[in-house]
């Protein structure tokens, strides 16, 4: 597993549970979403009712699950967690919905990956607090309506655009999470260090923040590796030297690029003169599957402006040359 993978692993889950902010007031970053969500929740609390359904969209590791937990905590309601891939049949969803208590918060992670039939059931349930349970098969099948107590759905998706409009429209509030800036990551890391019980100074924390790709999950994971290094090789203090040494050991450079990212840039610039070069050719040059290059390395490299996708293949942008410290040839495409 890559240390800069924005998706969580099993190993992360246990460690992350302790690091999640529990309240909106302790949630650093995302000020718009935080303020908007705070208003929606406070208004619902004053009315004594359930708030509108909430959709959270944005890349992995930015705090969607954390915010869902916060919604339940702020409303002082229980939280039920499930995910799109776990709901393959409408019946799976009916079972969850029919067991909800009044006011319960239902977190549906990766909501864009639910089956079509479950989606339809969900948006009716969200609107009318009712599900039609189908009994029997074929022409004799009948729909028995089942009333549900009011509840709140918090949906999370990395791809809001993939949600069908009728489902998207059932969410009264949509919050879009964006990558965090360094200052917010510094706040998050100081808080995490405190919770982990490790001493950390500003320079060490800043160094980790700068390599975390704007993603709290990665920041927390890098912090744990630096802590490990400091405990084994040092006095246990997370400082600049520990951050440098640990992140060098784990191959995360000062821009947050790892070995695969750099291999892609090296191949693109040194072997193919900056491109454009086809994805499969590039993948062969770095000894990886095309799919790995495309889904694992490329999104961040494209987002950060190291490479550009052109109709004729991948091309190195000026930032790629600068990062590698090489002079682009006259023939460089960009």
Which positions make up the binding site for ATP? 19-20, 61, 64-66, 127-129, 170, 180, 217
Q: Which residues are annotated as a binding site?
A: 19-20, 61, 64-66, 127-129, 170, 180, 217, 309, 314
3-state secondary structure the chain: CCCCCCCCCHHHHHHHHCCCCCCHHHCCCCHHHHHHHHHHHHHHHHHCCCCCCEEEECCCCCCHHHHHHHHHHHHCCCEEEEEHHHCCCHHHHHHHHHCCCCCCEEEEECHHHCCHHHHHHHHHHHHHCEEEEEECCHHHCEEEEEECCCCEEEEEECCHHHCCHHHHCCCCEEEECCCCCHHHHHHHHHHHHHHHCCCECHHHHHHHHHCCCCCHHHHHHHHHHHHHHHHHHCCCCECHHHHHHHHHHCCCCCCCCCHHHHHHHHHHHHHCCCCCECHHHHHHHHCCCHHHHHHHHHHHHHHCCCEEEECCEEEECHHHHHHHCCCCCCCCCC
By C-beta, is 24 or 264 nearer to ligand ADP? 24
Torsion region of 193: left, alpha or beta (phi above 0 gives left; psi -120 to 50 gives alpha): alpha
Residues 198-227 within binding reach of ligand ADP (CB under 6 A): 216-217, 220
Catalytic site residue from 12, 109, 258, 261: 109
Residue 217 known to be catalytic: yes
Residue 109 known to be catalytic: yes
Quick one: which of 2, 53, 64, 168 contacts ligand ADP (CB under 6 A)?
64
Name the residue with the smallest CB distance to ligand ADP: 63
> How far, in whole angstroms, is CA 266 from its chain's centroid?
28
Residue positions counted in the chain: 334
Distance of closest approach, residue 110 Cβ to ligand ADP, in angstroms: 9
By C-beta, is 69 or 230 nearer to ligand ADP? 69
Q: Is 91 in the site for ligand ADP (CB under 6 A)?
A: no
User: Which residue is it, tokens 């942008």?
Assistant: 317
Catalytic site residue from 64, 211, 221, 225: 64
Q: Is 28 in the site for ligand ADP (CB under 6 A)?
A: yes
Q: Is 57 in the site for ligand ADP (CB under 6 A)?
A: no
Distance of closest approach, residue 84 Cβ to ligand ADP, in angstroms: 13
Q: Tell me the two tokens of residue 113.
A: 């990956």
Quick one: which of 65, 152, 157, 174 contacts ligand ADP (CB under 6 A)?
65
Q: Which residues are annotated as a binding site for Mg(2+)?
A: 65
Distance of closest approach, residue 214 Cβ to ligand ADP, in angstroms: 11
> How far, in whole angstroms, is CA 56 from its chain's centroid?
10
Q: Is 27 in the site for ligand ADP (CB under 6 A)?
A: yes
- In the shown chain, the binding pattern of residues 173 to 202 toward ligand ADP, with x for contact by CB under 6 A and - for none, equals ---------------x--------------
Q: Which stretch binds ligand ADP (CB under 6 A): 59-67, 131-139, 233-241, 298-306?
A: 59-67
Catalytic site residue from 65, 157, 174, 215: 65
Q: Which stretch binds ligand ADP (CB under 6 A): 25-33, 137-145, 163-171, 311-319?
A: 25-33
Catalytic residue set = 64-65, 109, 158, 217
Residues lying near ligand ADP in the complex (CB under 6 A) are found at: 16, 19-21, 27-29, 60-66, 156, 188, 216-217, 220
């Amino acid at each position: 597993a890559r240390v800069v993978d924005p998706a969580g692993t099993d190993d992360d889950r246990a460690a992350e549970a302790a690091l999640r902010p529990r309240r909106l007031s302790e949630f650093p970053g995302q000020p718009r979403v935080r303020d908007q969500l705070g208003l929606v929740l406070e208004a619902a609390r004053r009315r004594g009712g359930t708030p509108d359904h909430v959709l959270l969209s944005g890349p992995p590791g930015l705090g969607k699950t954390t915010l869902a937990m916060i919604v339940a905590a702020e409303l002082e309601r229980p939280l039920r967690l499930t995910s799109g891939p776990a709901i393959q049949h409408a019946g799976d969803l009916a079972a969850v919905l029919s067991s909800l208590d009044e006011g319960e918060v239902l977190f549906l992670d990766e909501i864009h990956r639910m089956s079509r039939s479950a989606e339809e059931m969900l948006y009716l349930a969200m609107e009318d607090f009712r599900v039609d349970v189908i009994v029997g098969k074929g022409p004799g099948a009948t729909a028995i309506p089942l009333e549900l107590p009011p509840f709140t759905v918090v949906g999370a998706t990395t791809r809001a655009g993939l949600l069908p409009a009728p489902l998207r429209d059932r969410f009264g509030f949509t919050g879009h999470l964006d990558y965090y800036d360094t200052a917010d990551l510094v706040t998050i890391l100081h808080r995490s260090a405190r919770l982990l019980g490790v001493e950390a100074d500003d320079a060490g924390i800043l160094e980790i923040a700068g390599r975390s790709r704007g993603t709290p999950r990665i920041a927390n994971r890098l912090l744990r590796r630096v802590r490990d290094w400091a405990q084994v090789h040092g006095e246990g203090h997370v400082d600049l030297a520990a951050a440098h040494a640990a992140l060098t050991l784990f191959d995360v450079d000062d821009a947050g690029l790892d070995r695969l990212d750099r291999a892609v840039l090296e191949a693109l610039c040194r072997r193919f003169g900056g491109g454009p070069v086809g994805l499969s050719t590039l993948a062969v040059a770095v000894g990886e599957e095309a799919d790995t290059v495309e889904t694992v390395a490329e999104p961040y490299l494209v987002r950060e402006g190291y490479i550009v996708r052109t109709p004729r293949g991948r091309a190195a942008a000026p930032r790629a040359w600068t990062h590698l410290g090489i002079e682009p040839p006259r023939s460089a495409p960009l």
